[in-house]
Structure 1
């Protein structure tokens, strides 16, 4: 396709932004703050947006590390977003050998699937779009969201429930990944997450024989409640034992758990008072999601009875499966193909070969996956995924971008970042090292920014495309199950920002990686 003058102008603006935004990317990469705790990252984004002339609502949706920035008026309302949360346990310096970042705990956070590049690419695309509209005229409204906690699919379900996406006419979702492609029919599945808390209140005494329950008895050898640690251990083992009874293996679904901090360590002679465990599960159908939760809740109630604790549950998120839009997907694919994958300096390949040497692998002339330099057509991507799922399943994986797709026509695309072909796992330290290397990662987000700006301008300047995408959206929305048409969280949902998510803090001992105190424990089971 031939680009319009306005599209060419926006593409050129992205190139002009590169030096400044490369440094900005390195700044966000250096913060590496995890879910719900991206304080320095969000402050940097807000400052950048205000400098550019956007109006910014900080703390949107009652989430301290979220924001909603707007610019312009009239015309189509285009939704874009940044993510900037890192993954605990993934700290890695930009060096071709295993080395967590200096001065931090080895299991501090780092970027695995490059949310640092995702956010900066989206911001560069939004700024290029704004400057083009500002210079050339043409009404449009840009809505740019700061979306924290994507690693637990946290913020977009909240923004959706509170009405932030309702004004949108279209939305564009970008993510660095393993190849250059646009999502077609097979988007993300449902993802739900909840934190179960066990508290040992001793409201019901565990020992009922008076003779052995006296003030004279030693606290160190008297009978005590099993308490919250036992509850945690039993919850883990019980849910492992019942997993095969949660739902039959007729489709692809998964359940994962992680333990939150409990603050019991300095009172070993007392019944541990509190423990918390987060469960997150993905599947293609709401019925599967409900069945899994039902089993989890039953396990928690029985565990509480065994351990003399009370159980509570606090929801983290509930997201819906993605609603595809092929009209918009094909338009974006045309832009991606016309731009073509970006070139990278030979120094990136040499860095990759150094990584192979550090891993004891054969050294390759071309160390990266071949898809880095190609574009995977929509139909090829869909066919590749279709081979791995049952015929009745029409979604895969999970990402909360899908919440946008229920409010407006939404396109989702990926741009490739370098991945070692001999170690292609996104979370492997060797690939994380390249996420901080400007020569390796900048082309990934620059490509994404150009596609974002050019796609948005096509939507603004081509009413027929927007009308076709909107018609498809309305048709698919009308045919969708009733339970997906409204957000799955209530409008008054309190985001779980007060739970003990890990974070960086400054104490008398310096800058540390710690767990904060807990807050609202949710509903008693």
Structure 2
């Protein structure tokens, strides 16, 4: 099917906005703000969208760094797109051809890895191009654009889903930079991402005097110790000991929690509570977070039950009590072939990204910095080629058991239960050879010459796909009919029954008398 007039206008708009999108991408990359603390990033988007005439709700879903922007050109179908903008701790890389942190920071600070800085800017580019084409060609309908913080924690989308932000949409377009083969310049077909649960176990030692031998008179020392938990008294192990017991017990039992089938994983992280100067007093508070990625909700529930039991045991043994706080409960994805086919048509119209001589020269410089002999053509061939979704599906299925319906994890899946959704991937720059250190990919995701081709292609695909949904009632109806049929076969309501977990000790940038910096003082 040839481009419509509106689609041609949208492509021209994206190309005309290339410098603007490049500058925005570099700005968000420079912020490098991590989950739940994306303050400057969200302010940038909110200000920009309001300047463009969108009605913007700040703090959507009770999340301070989320938003929901809407615009309408009269009554009609509404299409959803979104931005992500959270970075990752300990990945502070400058947009440079050598390993270097961003100015004034240490490597421990946040930095963009996927990169969400470019994901969000592609979303904005596609959104504004769609709006411009709708206005120029009199296309009725609307656009909804959500700001999605804490994607690395599967944070915002389960909450937005439960609160109705994806309801009533004719379709949702979910783009992500390529991160694994064969999912490069293609669309997911049947095997969508699986479920993900994340929780924090908080151990609290608020009554250490009730543990062990406290309160028992000792005549040899003249009766009870004058200070509870004194140096000579039996002392509650405290929250740190509970956390360590939980950490080791969960690792010992990991192989028993689920069978070696289904592509599941569980990882943990310890959230700092700043007790390094507490001397020899028992730690009063310790947090440990678990994130599991599993094909099914039932698997997540089974692992959660075992972690709950371990947490209670560790708390009892160390004079603590334990609280479980949800960070995420994200569902597995729902396929939609009509939507996938629609987006695949638009990808074929736009084509794969192409990197010119200047970009490839930068890639060779990065190779040299990594100790790899520079190559004539340094880019991974798959980055400049398309792969049919069903061919990609067949490759993906080779390493999966037939009974496993979902693989890997990303919280776009919560969107798939509220509207017809397509998940597609456009290549970010990846180097031949290797292995390369993480900074190399991070740097290429921030250097304008190397990341802009992906932003341009993804923005064009988003705009063309949105306009096809808005202009083609048959395509829109087919996607909605399939969505309703698949949802009826296995309806999974929102799992979110918790408040946004915004008040934990998430890493962030701070302003102190020492200046602006990461929460860990720079060396």
Q: Normalising to structure 2: TM-score of the pair?
A: 0.95
Structure 2 counterparts to residues 246-257 of structure 1, below 5 A: 246-257=257-268
Residue 447 and residue 424 in structure 1: after superposition, are their counterparts in 2 closer, same or farther (change >3 A)?
A: farther
Select 1:415's aligned residue among 420, 426, 429: 426
Q: 1:218 to 1:150 in 2, by over 3 A?
A: closer
* SS of the residue 2:210 aligns to: coil
Is the 8 Å Cα contact of residues 34 and 149 (structure 1) preserved in structure 2?
yes
Aligned-pair CA distance for 1:216? 7.4
Q: How much does 1:164 deviate? A: 1.1
Most deviating of 357-366 and 152-161: 357-366
Structure 1 counterpart SS, 2:34: coil
Q: 1:459 aligns with which of 459, 462, 469?
A: 469
Alignment of 1:1-80 (within 5 A): 1-72=1-72, 73-80=74-81
State the alpha-carbon separation in 2 of the partners of residues 338 and 301 from structure 1.
56
Q: Equivalences for 1:201-220 in 2 at 5 Å?
A: 201=206, 202=208, 204-208=210-214, 209-211=216-218, 213-215=224-226, 219-220=230-231
Residue 429 of structure 1 is matched in structure 2 by: 439
Indicate the residue corresponding to 1:359 in structure 2: 370
Please identify runs of 4+ aligned residues in structure 1 that moved more than 3 A: 216-222
SS at match of 2:308: helix
The alpha-carbon deviation at position 116 of structure 1 amounts to 0.3
Asked if structure 1 preserves the Cα contact closer than 8 Å seen for 2:104 and 2:517, the reply is no
Contact 2:37 2:65 (8 Å CA) reproduced:
yes
Work out the number of aligned pairs and report it: 510
* CA–CA separation in structure 1 for the residues paired with 2:514 and 2:116: 30
Aligned to 1:180: 185
Q: Deviations over 1:109-135 (max 9, x none)?
A: 111111000000001100111111112
Which among 479, 498, 517 is matched to residue 503 of structure 2? 498
* Cα distance in 2, alignment partners of residues 105 and 339 from structure 1: 39
2:324 paired with 1:313: yes
2:360 equivalent in structure 1:
349
Does the 8 A contact of 1:195 with 1:277 survive in 2?
A: yes
Compute the RMSD of aligned alpha carbons.
1.6
Give the equivalent residue in structure 2 for 1:134: 135
Report the CA distance shift for 1:206/1:367 in structure 2 as closer, same or farther (over 3 A).
same
Q: Counterparts of 1:9 and 1:448 in 2: how far apart (Å)?
A: 16
**In structure 2, distance between residues paired with 1:373 and 1:39:** 35
- 1:343 CA displacement: 2.1
1:379 is matched with which residue? 390
Q: Distance in 2 between matches of 1:444 and 1:472?
A: 30
**Displacement of 1:218:** 9.3
Q: For 1:207 and 1:369, how far apart are their aligned partners in 2?
A: 65
Structure 1, 105-114 or 291-300: larger mean CA deviation? 105-114
Q: Cα 1:182–1:15, aligned 2, differ >3 Å: closer, same or farther?
A: same
Describe the SS at the equivalent of 1:375. Answer: coil
Distance 2:262 2:122 in 1: 35
SS of 2:343's equivalent? helix
Instruction: Label 1:259 to 1:381 Cα distance change in 2 as closer, same or farther (>3 A).
Output: same
* Cα deviation, residue 5, structure 1: 0.6
Please give the alpha-carbon distance, in whole angstroms, between the structure 2 residues aligned to 1:462 and 1:114: 32
Paired with 2:210 and 2:387, the residues of 1 have a C-alpha distance of 62
Contact 2:372 2:434 in 1 (8 A): no
Q: Partners in 1 of 2:229 and 2:485 — Cα distance? A: 71
How far apart, in 1, do the equivalents of 2:448 and 2:275 lie?
43
Q: Matched residues in 2 for 1:88 and 1:218: separation?
A: 37
What's 1:243 paired with?
254
- CA shift, 1:469, in A, is 0.7
The 10-residue stretch of structure 1 (20-29 or 427-436) with the greater mean CA deviation from structure 2: 427-436
1:4 positional shift: 0.6
